[in-house]
Each structure stands twice: as structure tokens, then as C-alpha cells.
Amino acid sequence: MFGDDCNKPCPVNCLDTCTRDDGKCNRCKPNTVGLYCNSTCGAECLPIIGGTQETCDRDGSCTECIVGRYGDGCDKICSTTCKDGCDRTNGRCNSCVDGKSGHICDKNCNSNCTVCNQDDIDICTRCKDGRWVISCNKQCSSNCNGQCDKSDGTCSICKHGWHGNVCQQQCSTNCNDGCDRITGKCRECKLGFIGDNCNVACSVCQNLCKAGNLTCDGCHLGSGQITVKNKDDDMGPVAGGVIGAIFGIVITAIISVTVHCYIIKRNQSSKPVSETRGYRYNNRPTIHTPTTGGDNSTSDDITYDTLQEGSTQQNEEHQYQTLNPDPAYVNLGLQ
């Protein structure tokens, strides 16, 4: 109540009391503003329900702005290229719409980007189709069917007939419906071929091969049992003959060396000990001057050197090292 006689009620939006003289509210109810709390917070203020904060203060200043507004009174509008609003104080966009960059998202990303960094138009987070690397200034392989990985250029999908990380390898010419991008295995083979890469040709098949058991639907008349020929692993008769000859030579050489070693070992073990000893004789006759005896006989004295046996520790081969003049043998002449 207010007035001289305190007979006037305070405004309905006053919280608690008002001044006695003029009935101004001391505090307002939530979401009301003004001296008499007879106004509401602006539509630009974000409504706050519950809690300790109010949508706006007594003077109408918003506590929080709705998305797209900024400033003390939320009376300023964020840039239209902002995404998820802007900063309450300076209006900087929280993020930019695709293709835009800058403080208020007023700059275009480089021409190869679809999305770029807000502070650098040449740092792309997503490239246009057919482009890769950080600035999207490199082209994907011409054999990529659309986009490639931005970090390493790996193709997501290859054009028909190509495989590999960057679709740099051709599928087998015998593939009927392209091949797997990673392994290069054919999805289906042309008639007359089987195998992962369709490089195994059916032999004398009349119709197509059955990939499961390497047999044909029908064989040529008179051909008998069919065979399968792998064109990649085929070995001609000349190459087979050369390999066989080399193998035979190696086996023969091994057998010959083994027999030779066995014969040498057997001969050494059966040889008598006396034959292993080495002797050298150096019998040199010493001829003395003939003497005439009283009976007019003549004699020649011949001395034979005696060889003494010596040994060495290394090979135990005996040698004769000392020559002794004794005994002397005398040849007696006939009178």
C-alpha cells in the first residue's frame, strides 16, 4: 500500500512493497521491468524460467540473448552467415555456414573447398569432388569415380575396369563386370575363363567353365578328359627339360664325391704300418789306397756308412741324420 493514508495498493507486478509517496516498486516480479514493473522483457531476451537469474534486469537489460542477437540489450543482429549465433559481446560468429570464413563469416572459402576453417580460407575441412590435401588444390586420380580421401588421395570408388588405392591398375581383360577395388579379383569372368583374375583358360571346353570345380558344361567331341591351363604359370617343355638335366647333374656329382671319399678312406685304413715309414739310405763307399802285402796281394778297403734312424714329431717320418764310419767292410782280393 502507498499514499498519505496508505490506502492505495502497489502495482500488481511489484514484488513485496512499493514506495509510500508514489508507489514505485522496490522490486519487480520475473520478466517485468520499469519503475512500476508494468513492462516485460524484450522479445530479444532469452526467457529464463526458474533458477536464480531473471530474463532481464529492472532496466530491461537481457541476461541472455536469443540466437541471432547480441549486445547489452540484445538489440544487435548477428551476421546472417553465422551458424549457431554469435558472441554476446562482440558479435563474432560461433561458426560459419558452409563455404564461409572470417570473424563474422563474410569471406568465401577458396574455390576448391566446400567447408573451410573460420580463420583461414585455405585450410579446408571438406573438399569439392575430385580434390584432396589440406587446401584441396590437388586433383584425385582421373580413374576415381568421384571423391577421394582428403589426406592421402585414396579413391573411394574406382571407375569401371580399374582397381588399387588410387585406381591405377587395370582389371584383367577377362573380367566381365569389373573387379574389386582392393584385391583386383574379377566379379565375373568372361566365357571360357576361371580364377580370381579370370586368367585360367578352360581347355577344349565347348561352353563356359564352372568356376567351382574347374569343369566345363560341355567338352569338344573326342577331346576326352578336359584339362585346365593357367596362362600365368605355364612351363614349356624346353624349360622343364633344362631343369631336369641340372637336377640330374647335381645328384650325380654328389654321388661321385661320396664314393671317391669312401675309397680314399678305405685305402688309408688298410695300408701296413711299415709302408708308412720312410727310409733313406746313403751308402757311399769309401775307397782307400791299395796296399801291397808281403805276399804281393792287393786289397781295396771299402767303408759303408751306417745310417741311424731319426724321427720328427710332426709326421713321425723317420730320417737318418748321423753318419758313422764304423764298421768298415774290406774287400779282399784274390792272390
Question: Is pLDDT above 80 for 22?
Answer: yes
Which H/E stretch holds residue 250?
helix 237-270
Is the pLDDT score of 75 beyond 50? yes
Q: Give the residue among 157, 160, 158, 194 at the shortest CA–CA distance from 174.
A: 194
Quote the mean pLDDT of the chain: 75
The C-alpha cell of 42 is what? Answer: 524484450
Comparison of pLDDT for 64 and 284, the residue scoring more: 64
Residue 273's pLDDT band (boundaries 50, 70, 90)?
Answer: very low
Question: What confidence tens digit (pLDDT) does each residue in 193-235 have?
Answer: 888 888 888 765 655 555 444 555 543 433 333 344 433 444 4
Q: How confident is the model at residue 269 (pLDDT cuts 50, 70, 90)?
A: low
**0.75 exceeded by the pTM?**
no
The size of the chain, in residues, is 335
Are 58 and 41 spatial neighbours (Cβ–Cβ below 8 Å)? no
Residues 5, 26: Cα–Cα separation, whole Å: 19
125 neighbors 110 (Cβ within 8 angstroms): no
- Report the amino acid identity of residue 19: T
- pLDDT at residue 49, as a whole number: 75
pLDDT at 104: 96
**In the chain, what are the domain boundaries?**
191-241, 279-310+319-335
Asked whether the predicted pLDDT for residue 189 surpasses 80, the reply is yes
- In angstroms, the Cα distances linking 240 to 212, 230, 253, 281, 284 are 29, 16, 20, 64, 72
Residue 114's pLDDT is: 94
What's the confidence (pLDDT) of residue 155? 92
